[in-house]
Amino acid sequence: MKYIVVLGDGMADEPIAVLGDKTPLAWAETPNMDRLSRLSELGMVQTIPRGMKPGSDTANLAVLGYDPEKYYSGRSPLEALSIGVPMKDTDIAIRCNIVTLSEEEEAFEEKRVLDHSSSEISTEDCAVLLREVEKQLADETYQFYVGTSYRHCLIWSGGEVVELTAPHDILGQKIGQYLPKDRKLREMMERSYQILVNHPLNIERKKNGLNPANCCWFWGAGTKPALSSFQEKTGKRGMMVSAVDLLKGIAVGAGMGVAYVEGANGGLNTNYAGKVEAAVNALTREGYDFAYIHLEAPDEMGHQGNVEKKVRSIEYLDTKVIGPLVEKMEKSGEDFRLLVLPDHPTPVRVRTHTPDSVPYMLYDSTGPQRHDWNYNEEECGNTGIFVAEGYRLIDKLFAV
Ligand SMILES: [Zn+2]
């Protein structure tokens, strides 16, 4: 038996008027999930423990079977693992986004966060800017590491786990009250703006109608993670297929394999075929028992507040991932179980994550169930099946 998770990051949502009061998941054309849903167990699962912040970090830890209340030590340390940052026990890892701040206002604290992703700037361009900041601000206490696109890492040696605000939670708002209380971190953010605002690369970006990447924004501080081995915990060899450093980092920390897929970028036009192939190869040729396919696009489209693109990201998940994946697994002759779910909702109305429960679909190629329900928030809710502790859901996938 082979086991697969297909996770649509931020895929869950609320009923939306322009979609006839349906959610994007219920509205989207999803022929493959519609077919499978009638042969699957449907239910709701609480991935985010009550009281914890809704994020891809806590939620994906839970879906992989790690109780976030026990294993979560901050977001950035997990990402640091994936980019190979050598963390000491006394180090604090901090996510360093390069964001777009408004440029009109004089006073730094009066500026607004216009875009947490600087128009999803490329890793190459962002590395040039981060190197400029590093030249002027790095020392033996503060070290910068290049990640992916706008997502990078700062290591603070001998630091503290200070409370910081995620930029995608305050889009459009003045930054004053959200700046770090720590004087040095605050100073470095303001200095980074002075270094980047007139950088030639940003002058060029503005000319091309792209948001300038003009400020380092620090958040998601945490200590070195201590995840137990996934294989020891489940008896299964697992492979992670994701473009996002956070997921790769969780996999590295859990001792899972990490597939490298050319052109996988966490966007709407990622390399879907390459991700499916990597998962099927791992399961049918490389001796893996479990594959975790993570798709970032629905979350990004939720943060952008774009209904049309969120619907399209779900349709792509269905036709470019679920369809080909099931077809290839059926052709391989392997029995398999497939779990499809989001990690948390990212409703387009609020443009950020919520801690609400999410719908799941559990398909078994050897013994399908029979009913007429489709896979969406409302119908999964109507089944009455509810997994209160999200980190236990994977036990259903691996159940014999
Ligand atoms: Zn997420």
CA of 56 to the centre of ligand 1 (A): 4
Q: Which residues of 314-344 are buried (b: 16+ CB within 10 A; e: fewer)?
A: bbbbbbbbbbbbbebbeeeeeebbbbbbbbb
Listed residues: CB within 5 A of ion ligand 1? 9-10, 56, 299, 343
Q: What is the pLDDT of residue 168?
A: 86
Q: How far is the CA of 392 from the centre of ligand 1 (A)?
A: 19
Mean pLDDT confidence for 339-349: 98
CA dihedral 7, 10, 11, 14 (to 10 degrees): 150
- What is the CA(10)–ligand 1 centre distance, in A? 5
Using 50, 70 and 90 to split pLDDT, how confident is the model at 287?
very high
Q: What is the pLDDT of residues 24-33, one digit of tens each?
A: 999 999 999 9
Q: How many CA atoms lie within 13 A of 38 on its CB side?
A: 7
58 alpha carbon to ligand 1 midpoint, in Å? 9
pLDDT at position 57 is 93
Q: What is the pLDDT of residues 257-275, one digit of tens each?
A: 999 999 998 889 999 999 9
pLDDT at 167: 93
Contact yes or no for 45/387 (Cβ under 8 A): yes
Whole-number Å distance, alpha carbon 59 to ligand 1 midpoint, is 7
The whole-number average pLDDT for the span 363-386 is: 90
Ligand 1 centroid–CA 201 distance in Å is 30
Residue 169 has pLDDT above 90, yes or no: no
pLDDT, tens digit, for every residue of 173-221? 999 999 999 999 999 999 999 999 999 999 999 999 999 999 999 999 9
Which pTM value belongs to this model?
Answer: 0.85
pLDDT at residue 377, as a whole number? 98
pLDDT of residue 198: 96
Average of per-residue pLDDT across 369-395:
93
pLDDT at 83 over 90: no
Question: Taking residues 39-44, what's their average pLDDT?
Answer: 96
**d(CA 297, ligand 1 centre) in Å:** 10
Q: For residue 207, which phi and psi values (nearest 5 degrees)? A: -60, -35
pLDDT of residue 148: 86
For residue 274, which phi and psi values (nearest 5 degrees)?
A: -65, -35
**Mean pLDDT value across the chain:** 95
How far is ligand 1, taken at its centre, from the CA of residue 352, in Å?
A: 10
Cβ count within 10 A of residue 308: 12
With cut-offs at 50, 70 and 90, classify the pLDDT of residue 82: confident
Q: What's the rounded mean pLDDT across residues 308-329?
A: 98
pLDDT at 367: 79
What would the mean pLDDT of 325-334 be, rounded to a whole number? Answer: 97
Query: In this model, does residue 369 exceed pLDDT 80?
Result: no
CA–centroid distance, 199 to ligand 1, in Å, is: 32
Counting residues of the chain whose pLDDT is more than 70, the rounded percentage is 99
The pLDDT assigned to 368 comes to: 66
